Amino acid sequence: MNATTGDVWKHPNLRIAYVAQHAFHHLEQHLDKTANQYIQWRYQYGEDRELLQKETRQISDEEKKQMEKIIMIEGEKRQIEQLMGRRKGKRTFDYEVKWVNKVHDDNTWMPREQLESLGFSKMLQAFDDKEAARAGMYARPLTAQNITKHLVDVGLDAEFSTHNRLRGLSGGQKVKVVIGAAMWNQPHMLVLDEPTNYLDRDSLGALATAIKDYGGGVVIISHNSDFVKELCPEIWHVDNGVCTVTGARNEPLAANKIEFKQEEEMTDAFGNVSKVKQQKAKLSRKEKMAKAKRKKAGLGEDDDDDQDDWVV
């Protein structure tokens, strides 16, 4: 589904997994495969093949026409053929561009913003997805043995994942296959649309525990109030344009002392960690006199006169 209004931004390395409300939708074309074979098919090229079939990944005729436009590079007319690589630029990523009818030695590095302005947003998105998936593949190769172990971790025995076709599995087992397949590429964010369908009480308890222990972000759409309350201490209930918040926010805050500590590291939007260089602000003679006057009047800061303010 495409956004109707506003801007959508996501980190180029972000991996998102989605489980549809009708979970069996993911399996309809693969009923004669085993669960193990289905996951091998889905990730055999690195990225999630189901993700590539989504509406947001399809290139429209207008976008194709825009992508075929001629670009002036170093006084020469060129046309983009494909993206070959990616590296960290000054503010964002730069991409290695392969040009039509040009050898690889003529490849050019271009910043993301420039490629987006030229209409290559979906090509960038597909390339980012492939790079993000490749990072997950290094940690866990796509082998039958690894897939079997992965499905056992989500509650599907090896016998059912390796020797039984999907059409012969129960509803609950199919849901486990779908969840296991979505989690194969180790996503940073998981979107679950009505995940409680077809799951028994024990499986629901196991799913709730797994979500609590999960280190990434989880978005859940569910009609099961008990399941939601178990996972969400704070509930936002929207009805007729009015949002009512219940739970943690309505409880009085504990009167704990808050201590402030100067940050020694800073993480930017791309996850890069850098040391924060701290400097003492040099006060002018006029500022020092004003500070001393405020302290004498009982309006000054609690720190010593010799203690300068910190700026970052």
Here the CATH number for the domain that contains residue 40 is 3.40.50.300
Work out the angle between the directed axes of helices 144-153 and 171-182 (0-180°, nearest 10): 120
Beta strands 189-193 and 217-221: pairing type? parallel
- Choosing from 246, 277, 300, the residue where a domain stops is 246
pLDDT digits (tens, 9 = 90+) for 241-257: 888 888 765 454 344 34
How far apart CA 45 and CA 142 sit, in angstroms, is: 10
Residue with tokens 């006084």: 75
Least confident of 58-67, 74-83, 127-136, 199-208: 58-67
Does 127 map to a domain?
no
Do 82 and 107 contact (CB within 8 A), yes or no? no
Q: What local confidence, expressed as pLDDT, does residue 157 receive?
A: 92
Q: How many domains does the chain have?
A: 2
> Would 135 be classed as within a structural domain?
no
Structure tokens at 253: 């805050």
Q: What is the pLDDT of residue 256?
A: 39
Across residues 152-174, what is the average pLDDT? 91
- Say yes or no: 145 and 235 in one domain: yes
> Does residue 216 contact residue 246 with C-beta atoms inside 8 Å?
no
pTM across the whole model: 0.59
Please, what is the Cα angle at 22 between 21 and 26, to 5 degrees?
A: 110
Whether 227 maps to a domain, the answer reads yes
**How many angstroms separate the CA atoms of 206 and 209, rounded?**
5
**Residue found under tokens 């999630």:** 48
**41, 144: one domain:** yes
Q: Do 272 and 242 share a structural domain?
A: no
Residues 145 and 240 grouped into a single domain: yes
Q: For residue 122, tell me if it sits in a domain.
A: no
Give a yes or no: residue 97 inside a domain: no
For residues 258-291, one letter each, b for 16 or more C-beta atoms within 10 angstroms of the residue's C-beta and e for the rest, the string is eeeeeeeeeeeeeeeeeeeeeeeeeeeeeeeeeb
Q: Which amino acid is at 296?
A: K
pLDDT at 303 over 60: no
Does residue 271 share a domain with residue 242?
no
Residues 298 and 219 in one domain: no
Section 14-30 average pLDDT: 84
Q: How far apart are CA 159 and CA 169, in angstroms?
A: 11
Confidence (pLDDT) at 286? 63
Helix orientation angle between 35-43 and 144-153, rounded to the nearest 10 degrees:
110
Same domain, 194 and 289: no
Contact present, 175 and 36 (Cβ < 8 Å): no
Predicted pLDDT at 208: 87
174 and 312 fall within a common domain: no
Q: Do residues 215 and 175 share a domain?
A: yes
User: Domain check: are 158 and 209 in the same one?
Assistant: yes
- Residue 103, domain member (yes or no): no
Task: Confirm whether 283 is domain-assigned.
Answer: yes
246, 277, 303 — which closes off a domain? 246
Which domain range does residue 165 map to? Answer: 16-54+140-246
Assess contact for 57 and 122: CB atoms under 8 A. Answer: yes
For residue 193, what are the contacts with CB-CB under 8 A and spacing of at least 6? 18, 19, 20, 21, 221
- Is 46 in the same domain as 146? yes
For the record, the structure tokens of 170 come out as 């129960």
Task: Convert the pLDDT of each residue in 196-231 to its tens digit.
Answer: 877 888 888 888 888 888 888 888 888 888 888 888
In a domain, 172, yes or no: yes
Q: Verify that 42 and 169 share a domain, yes or no.
A: yes
